[in-house]
Amino acid sequence: DAGVIQSPRHEVTEMGQEVTLRCKPISGHNSLFWYRQTMMRGLELLIYFNNNVPIDDSGMPEDRFSAKMPNASFSTLKIQPSEPRDSAVYFCASSLSVSTDTQYFGPGTRLTVL
Amino acid sequence: SQQGEEDPQALSIQEGENATMNCSYKTSINNLQWYRQNSGRGLVHLILIRSNEREKHSGRLRVTLDTSKKSSSLLITASRAADTASYFCATAGSARQLTFGSGTQLTVLP
């Protein structure tokens, strides 16, 4: 079975550009999570969805970040405009449900903002 | 903010030795999980221990949980070079979302 799929795997962009990261969760999973990992701050939860509905976006750094989940098999994380401090690895994870607890991570998108 | 703090930050051992990593947390939890991350990869779930459990085993892994001390330990027995990775503890509270610690970088030397 395919795991969580993320694209692109690497993204290099210039400051001010819009960046869109994509995620396809494991089929049948009802919960989806977006994380950001940096050396300084470790792994941070940005937002999570349950049944395509955003439940908690308190981790989203600022209004430049937005996330959507239009259907059960697709989610996007958008940064507009991007800044150098957004450079990080962004992970998507999914789980059967929020209460199931075990999360399955995608391979991540390494974002570099110049 | 990070709930769990792993100790040590880095650990280097010889193949065949046991590796022990510790995790401390601050608030009450529903369960605690350990994940492994190989360089350049996503996190992989290893084991979950619930707040009413004290010890759990999975293959070469042994996890303990002491809720009175708000701490957990992960023991990897008979380590292999392939165990080289970062190990993270993650706590799930009543809201069930995970809060990850800062990780322990384990290096197993052949």
pLDDT tens for the 110 residues of chain B, in order: 446 688 899 999 999 999 999 999 998 888 999 999 999 899 999 999 999 999 999 999 999 999 999 999 999 999 999 999 999 999 987 766 788 999 999 999 98
Residues 6+ apart with CB under 8 A from A38: A44, A87, A88, A89
Checking if the pLDDT of A37 tops 80, the result is: yes
Distances (CA, A) of A58 to A55, A63, A107: 9, 11, 24
User: CA of B68, closest CA in chain A: separation in Å?
Assistant: 22
Q: Give residue ranges of A with CB < 8 Å to any B CB.
A: 4, 33, 42-43, 45, 48, 56, 91, 93, 98-99, 101-108
Question: Contact, A56 vs B97, CB < 8 A?
Answer: yes
Question: Contact, B86 vs B36, CB < 8 A?
Answer: yes
Question: Contact, B55 vs B65, CB < 8 A?
Answer: yes
Question: Contact, B8 vs B104, CB < 8 A?
Answer: yes
Does B89 lie at the interface with A, CB-CB under 8 angstroms? no
Kindly state the percentage of chain A with pLDDT values over 70.
96
Task: Compute φ and ψ for A29, nearest 5 degrees.
Answer: -80, 140
Does B81 lie at the interface with A, CB-CB under 8 angstroms? no
